[in-house]
């Protein structure tokens, strides 16, 4: 059906696409392209999931202001959902995230409060908590909110089961930001497709899970301090400076079969190659997840089938290192082309 009562009806049901030129010949590699969500990222799912869960529980009253701390895609998804449903929205974001994210949220009617990058993700959260408490706003708590993982269990996971029904699926590859995708899809795959190995990627500069060091937490499950293994990395939306509750749950539930570290340059290169060799235009964490899938493919047995999550669109990164080498002015080759007909 292609007619909807609201934009919110278009969230999810994203396509799975075969990789034809970048995959080694001995495997079947597929990607699930979350850029097909209405605001271009996997976080549209979380936004709809947490707002509708809060409406059902009564935690969110008509006209009440919603607030969240986010690296961007959650804010953009929430801005869409809040616009469509009529809730005011305030987003708290570190000033290091791409400027197009701020502008997108403001364009969708949200207010954006910026915190210094030096205060990291924890600093963003502290400001969001303080504003929520002071004003009686609903903090959606994306890192701890079960509705985040539940929505992935009810949508993303079911789509994957349907798309691979009756067929092999040997590996499912993902990263984590909140861990909503990992916990929600991971638990359904473990129950329904126990033969599918869940591969979890993290930045080589911030391999928090691989470090084996525990996250210091507050009694309510929120992070108390930055994780000792965290360093800045280029994968915006992956691995904040703490292991969030949903990610921690996924690990303690045994959902992660394999951990991979992805170097930043590999993420940027894979994003570029997906665009230039497959026509698939996606962001940095998508490139990073794809780099993880290629690592798996190298040693996977012949005939293995791999599915990688591609969380968002490449258009969100025009002002970031992903586009740093893309010139604005004509190259010599382009100038020569023009000169050849003048
Ligand atoms: N990639 C990008 C670009 C994201 O914005 C996010 C969400 N922060 C993720 C990956 C990870 O998704 P999740 O929060 O479900 O772990």
SS3 230: coil
> How far apart, in whole angstroms, are the C-alpha atoms of residue 197 and residue 186?
9
pLDDT above 80: residue 129: yes
So what's the pLDDT on residue 122?
Answer: 86
What pairing do the DSSP bridges indicate for beta strands 16-18 and 28-33? antiparallel
Which residue is listed with tokens 């903090």? Answer: 139
pLDDT digits (tens, 9 = 90+) for 258-300: 999 999 999 999 999 999 999 999 999 999 999 999 999 999 9
> Which residues belong to the active site?
43
Most distant CA atoms of the chain, gap in Å: 72
More confident residue, 17 or 117: 17
pLDDT digits (tens, 9 = 90+) for 293-326: 999 999 999 999 999 999 999 999 999 999 999 9
CB contact at 8 A, 173 and 185: no
Average pLDDT over residues 196-203: 98
Q: Best of 155, 237, 248, 270 to mutate for ligand 1, by most ligand atoms within 8 A of CB?
A: 237
**Closest approach atom of ligand 1 to CA 142:** 14
* Encoded tokens for 101: 């994210």
* 340 Cα to the center of ligand 1, angstroms: 47
* Encoded tokens for 12: 């999810």
Average pLDDT over residues 118-122: 85
Q: At what angle do helices 245-252 and 146-154 cross, to 10 degrees?
A: 60
> Which amino acid residue places its CA nearest to atom 11 of ligand 1?
177
CB contact at 8 A, 85 and 108: no
pTM of the model: 0.96
> How far apart, in whole angstroms, are the C-alpha atoms of residue 86 and residue 72?
20
CB contact at 8 A, 196 and 189: yes
**Closest approach atom of ligand 1 to CA 70:** 8
Q: Could you tell me the residue ranges of all domains in the chain?
A: 7-36+157-323, 43-139
Query: Is 43-139 the same fold as 7-36+157-323?
Result: yes
* 42-57 per-residue burial string, b: 16 or more CB within 10 A, e: under 16: bbbbbbbbbbbbbeee
Average pLDDT over residues 127-146: 96
* 114 Cα to the center of ligand 1, angstroms: 20
**Considering the chain, what is the average pLDDT of its residues?**
96
pLDDT bucket at 99, cuts 50 / 70 / 90: confident
CATH of 43-139, one of 3.40.50.1100, 3.30.1490.100, 3.30.830.10, 3.20.80.10: 3.40.50.1100
SS3 148: helix
Average pLDDT over residues 191-197: 98
Three-state secondary structure of 117-130: HHHHHHHHHHHHHH
Give start and end residues of each alpha helix (H) in the chain: 43-57, 73-85, 99-107, 120-135, 146-154, 156-163, 180-192, 208-211, 245-252, 264-273, 284-299, 332-339
So what's the pLDDT on residue 227?
Answer: 95
CA distances to 154, 166, 238, 251, 339 from 95, rounded to whole Å, are 34, 47, 16, 30, 43
pLDDT bucket at 1, cuts 50 / 70 / 90: low
SS3 21: coil
**Closest approach atom of ligand 1 to CA 285:** 1
pLDDT bucket at 201, cuts 50 / 70 / 90: very high
CATH number of 7-36+157-323: 3.40.50.1100
pLDDT above 90: residue 222: no
pLDDT above 80: residue 205: yes
Return the percentage of the chain with pLDDT > 70, whole number.
100
């Amino acid at each position: 059906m292609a007619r909807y009562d609201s934009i919110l009806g278009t969230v999810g049901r994203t396509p799975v696409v075969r990789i034809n030129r970048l995959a080694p010949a001995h495997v079947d590699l597929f990607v699930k392209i979350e850029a097909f969500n209405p605001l271009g990222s996997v976080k549209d799912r979380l936004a709809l999931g947490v707002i509708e869960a809060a409406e059902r529980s009564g935690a969110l009253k008509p006209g009440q202001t919603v607030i969240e701390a986010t690296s961007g895609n959650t804010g953009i998804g929430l801005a869409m959902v809040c616009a469509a449903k009529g809730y005011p929205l305030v987003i708290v974001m570190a000033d290091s995230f791409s400027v197009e994210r701020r502008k997108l949220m403001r364009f969708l009617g949200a207010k954006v409060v910026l915190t210094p990058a030096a205060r990291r993700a924890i600093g963003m959260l502290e400001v969001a908590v303080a504003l929520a408490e002071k004003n009686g706003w609903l903090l959606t708590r994306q890192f701890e909110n079960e509705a985040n993982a539940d929505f992935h269990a009810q949508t993303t996971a079911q789509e994957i089961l349907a798309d691979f029904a009756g067929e092999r699926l040997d590996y499912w590859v993902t990263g984590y930001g909140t861990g909503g995708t990992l916990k929600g899809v991971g638990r359904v795959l473990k129950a329904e497709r126990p033969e599918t190995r869940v591969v979890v990627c993290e930045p080589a500069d911030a391999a928090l899970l691989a470090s084996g060091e525990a996250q210091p937490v507050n009694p309510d499950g929120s992070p108390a301090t930055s994780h000792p293994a965290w360093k800045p990395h280029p994968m915006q939306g992956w691995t904040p400076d703490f292991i969030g509750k949903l990610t921690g749950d996924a690990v303690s539930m045994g959902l992660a079969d394999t951990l991979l570290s992805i170097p930043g340059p590999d993420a940027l290169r894979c994003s570029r190659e997906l665009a230039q060799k497959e026509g698939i235009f996606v962001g940095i964490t998508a490139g990073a997840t794809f780099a993880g899938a290629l690592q798996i493919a190298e040693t996977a047995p012949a005939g293995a089938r791999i599915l990688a999550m591609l969380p968002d669109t490449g258009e969100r990164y025009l002002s970031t290192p992903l586009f740093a080498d893309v010139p604005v002015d004509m190259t010599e080759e382009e100038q020569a082309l023009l000169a050849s007909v003048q």
